[in-house]
Chain A
Amino acid sequence: MKQLLLKNKILIRSKKIRVYVITAMVILIAVTAGVGNCLKEIKFLQLIGGTDDITLFENNFEHIRRILPPFGIIGYYSDKKYDARTFCLTRYTLSPRIIVQGIEHPFVIGNFSRFKKPGEFAKAHHLSIMETVDKNIVLFKKRSE
């Protein structure tokens, strides 16, 4: 009888330990993952120095936003091979204007590599430089014929 009681007690104790172990395991894994995530974000925050690139991009375009008409289609030209991000950021910043690839519109945003000069490009395509956003990005206006 005593043995049976002891056996029962051990069984209950082992079940309790089992529950504690598995719960501790969940907490440990979850906390480790969460802390790891936080550390990664802190590292990234230190790397970017507090300002993200989209906010910087939008700040650069602030003046252009005021010049352009509130609606309508704006042309976009780039001589860079991989330019999807700048194109999308331009579209995001200048919305609700519609940005489309091409230079046949009254206003054109040009994004140039160091191999092409905006002035020469403007001359060749009957455009005039309206505003320079930074050393690469320029706003052109179509010259009347």
Chain B
Amino acid sequence: MLLISLAVPIATAFFIVNMAWPGKDSFKSEFAVKACLSIGLGLGLSSWLFFICLVFFGAVTKYFILLDIILLAACLVLFIFKKKNAFNFDLKPEFPSPESPSLDRKCFNYFLYAGFIILSLITIISFVLRVLNDPHGSWDAWNIYNLGARFIFRGSAEWATAFSSLYDWSLPDYPLLIQGNVARIWSYVGYETLMAPVSQAFLFISATVMLTVFSLSRLQNKNQGLIAGMVLLGTPFFIYNGSSLIADVPVGFYILATVVLHCFIDEGTKKKPGLIFICGFMAGLAAWTKNEGLLLIISIYFARFIVITLQKGPEAFFKEAVIFTSGLTPVLIIIAYFKFQLASPNIVYLQDQLASPVTLIFNQNFNALFNSLTDISKYIIIGKTFIVKFYELEKWMLIVFPVFILLMGRSDKNLNNPGIYTSLLILMIMICGYFTVFLVYPLDNLQWLLETTVRRLLLQILPSLIFVFFLIIAAPEETA
């Protein structure tokens, strides 16, 4: 049942991604990229649907399983209907190589494959060991995510009480993608099993690594994709955090998915409304995973406004923004409903919220804000922490980046793809956003806040940073 609960939404998402994908020539073309995107989309979509059922029926019922199956069948029928006349099973290879590789190239490929497989095995062992040590996950995992899932699953009609004012210690306004999905899997299985959050975490880690590898293989070069994947797998905190069953890796996946999708959207001249719609939905899912996703949405609008307006004019931006927003809206609606109707149902809670540090940021007077923004010492502290934490995140792997720039140089392959500039802008705006939040943070415990959050925030954008870096850097084939 556990497998079915995961397979049904992922299969549904796969058909949706296939329908949205431009070009009708092949079911299998770019199969790997579509499959990776489907994992995140499927898990997000199922959580979204489960929450709607929860609100609609008032408690966990088995109706949502029926709805899952109906949706899968509908997507399958639509997919077959759309592709009926366009199937082409005489497939071109996924990553075509123009010439047969030389012996040297073959050796290099084997070398890379061996490295990647060994690293993947080490990662799996590391994941299993971490889960054995902490089957309930880290503090945040059981105190926020598993607790939320238990409230939904065990709570019956009383589930919403968990997110009321009485429970503000466990951050009741945290979005519900992770908690909702765990409760959904438990409802499928019929009992609580720690395998639900564990398999979800494993899927998100794998999907993030594989999306990095396959999207780079498709957009840049197969070997470049494998190297990028190894850099990600060689980041111990990425595996540690992912296997701690918390939401940083999932939100990192959705950030990566939007960045990758923008590169696909901007590749070539063909319009791709389906991909823009999916991209909007993915951005929404990032916000349904963690509040940081809201910053991603703002960053995307800003980045696209700059890139598209400069390239094609404001009209083209507005056209794209409409499609993007229509993908985003279904998720934003449930986020708004959850935050305003369920997570803060009474005045006492709102008053508590007004006293919280986050609200204090917006409640500062102009003088206090001006002082914060002109305080050089704050810039130094925050900047230093960002650098130190990025080193702590990557450790020795940090050497790889300048060495790659020096030895490999810039790639000429994707220079005309505005998606790269969009991705860079999104990441820059997100980093600036994080920086500004710390800068205007009004309380005295800034150092503590930086210590506890910066590494996790950087981890969320790390897969996207690695993806963009290796998209810009020349591949081994270009150099050798």
**Residues of chain A having any CB pair with chain B under 8 Å:** 12, 15-16, 18-20, 22-23, 25-27, 29-38, 41-42, 44-45, 48, 50, 52, 54-55, 71, 73, 88, 91-92, 95-96, 98, 100
User: Known: A12-B480, A54-B136. Is A33-B407 also a contact (CB below 8 A)?
Assistant: no
Ranked nearest first, the 5 interchain pairs of A and B with the lowest CB-CB distance are A30-B234, A41-B129, A34-B122, A96-B155, A27-B115
What 0/1 pattern do residues 215 to 227 of B give for CB contact below 8 A with A?
0000000000001
Q: How far is B108's CA from A29's CA once the two chains are assembled, in angstroms? A: 18
The interface residues of chain A lying within 8 Å CB-to-CB of B350 are none
User: Known: A29-B396, A29-B399. Is A34-B151 also a contact (CB below 8 A)?
Assistant: no
The interface residues of chain A lying within 8 Å CB-to-CB of B397 are 26, 29-30, 33
Closest to B164 in A: A98
The interface residues of chain B lying within 8 Å CB-to-CB of A45 are 129, 132-133
A to B contact number (C-beta, < 8 Å): 141
Asked if A38 and B126 sit within 8 Å, CB to CB, the answer is yes
Which residues from 133 to 177 on chain B have a C-beta closer than 8 Å to any C-beta of chain A? 133-136, 139, 142-143, 146-147, 150-151, 154-156, 158-159, 161-162, 166-167, 169-170
Asked if A25 and B159 sit within 8 Å, CB to CB, the answer is no
Q: How far is B104's CA from A16's CA once the two chains are assembled, in angstroms? A: 9
User: Known: A22-B404, A26-B227. Is A96-B162 also a contact (CB below 8 A)?
Assistant: yes
| Residue of B132, B150, B169, B236 touching A33 (CB-CB under 8 A) | B236
The yes or no answer to B314 lying at the interface (CB within 8 A) is no
Asked if B143 and A92 sit within 8 Å, CB to CB, the answer is yes
Asked if B161 and A52 sit within 8 Å, CB to CB, the answer is no
Asked if A92 and B133 sit within 8 Å, CB to CB, the answer is no
Q: How far is B131's CA from A44's CA once the two chains are assembled, in angstroms? A: 12
Known contacts A18-B479, A54-B136; 15 additional CB pairs below 8 A are A18-B407, A18-B408, A19-B476, A22-B400, A30-B233, A31-B118, A34-B122, A34-B239, A37-B239, A37-B240, A38-B126, A52-B133, A71-B155, A91-B147, A96-B159
User: Known: A29-B399, A31-B118, A98-B166. Is A92-B236 also a contact (CB below 8 A)?
Assistant: no
The number of chain B residues with a CB under 8 A from chain A is 57
The yes or no answer to B403 lying at the interface (CB within 8 A) is yes
The yes or no answer to B272 lying at the interface (CB within 8 A) is no
The yes or no answer to B130 lying at the interface (CB within 8 A) is yes
Asked if B230 and A95 sit within 8 Å, CB to CB, the answer is no
Q: How far is B235's CA from A116's CA once the two chains are assembled, in angstroms? A: 48
Q: How far is B255's CA from A46's CA once the two chains are assembled, in angstroms? A: 37
Which residues from 455 to 480 on chain B have a C-beta closer than 8 Å to any C-beta of chain A? 476, 479-480
Closest to B395 in A: A33
| Residue of A25, A73, A98 touching B403 (CB-CB under 8 A) | A25
Asked if A92 and B129 sit within 8 Å, CB to CB, the answer is no
Closest to A71 in B: B158
| Residue of B118, B125, B142 touching A92 (CB-CB under 8 A) | B142
B146 to chain A, nearest CB (A): 7
Closest to B475 in A: A19
User: Known: A26-B227, A34-B122, A45-B132. Is A88-B234 also a contact (CB below 8 A)?
Assistant: no
Asked if A30 and B126 sit within 8 Å, CB to CB, the answer is no
19 A/B residue pairs, CB under 8 Å, sorted by A: A16-B104, A20-B108, A22-B400, A22-B403, A26-B227, A27-B119, A31-B118, A33-B397, A34-B122, A35-B122, A37-B236, A38-B129, A41-B130, A41-B133, A52-B133, A71-B161, A73-B166, A88-B139, A98-B162
| Residue of B161, B234, B400 touching A98 (CB-CB under 8 A) | B161
**Residues of chain B having any CB pair with chain A under 8 Å:** 104, 108, 111-112, 115, 118-119, 122-123, 125-126, 129-130, 132-136, 139, 142-143, 146-147, 150-151, 154-156, 158-159, 161-162, 166-167, 169-170, 227, 230-231, 233-236, 239-240, 395-397, 399-400, 403-404, 407-408, 476, 479-480
Asked if A25 and B126 sit within 8 Å, CB to CB, the answer is no
Asked if B407 and A32 sit within 8 Å, CB to CB, the answer is no
Q: How far is B399's CA from A95's CA once the two chains are assembled, in angstroms? A: 47
The interface residues of chain B lying within 8 Å CB-to-CB of A36 are 236
Asked if B133 and A48 sit within 8 Å, CB to CB, the answer is yes
Asked if A30 and B133 sit within 8 Å, CB to CB, the answer is no
Closest to A36 in B: B236
| Residue of A50, A55, A98 touching B167 (CB-CB under 8 A) | A98
User: Known: A19-B479, A35-B122, A52-B136. Is A96-B400 also a contact (CB below 8 A)?
Assistant: no
Q: How far is B134's CA from A54's CA once the two chains are assembled, in angstroms? A: 8
Closest to A57 in B: B136
The interface residues of chain A lying within 8 Å CB-to-CB of B235 are 33
A51 to chain B, nearest CB (A): 10
Asked if B227 and A95 sit within 8 Å, CB to CB, the answer is no
Asked if A33 and B479 sit within 8 Å, CB to CB, the answer is no
Q: How far is B122's CA from A48's CA once the two chains are assembled, in angstroms? A: 22
User: Known: A22-B408, A55-B135. Is A95-B166 also a contact (CB below 8 A)?
Assistant: no
Asked if B234 and A92 sit within 8 Å, CB to CB, the answer is no
Q: How far is B404's CA from A18's CA once the two chains are assembled, in angstroms? A: 10
The interface residues of chain B lying within 8 Å CB-to-CB of A16 are 104, 480
Asked if B396 and A33 sit within 8 Å, CB to CB, the answer is yes
Asked if A23 and B476 sit within 8 Å, CB to CB, the answer is yes
The interface residues of chain B lying within 8 Å CB-to-CB of A31 are 115, 118-119, 122, 234
Closest to A98 in B: B166
Asked if A27 and B126 sit within 8 Å, CB to CB, the answer is no
Asked if A42 and B129 sit within 8 Å, CB to CB, the answer is yes
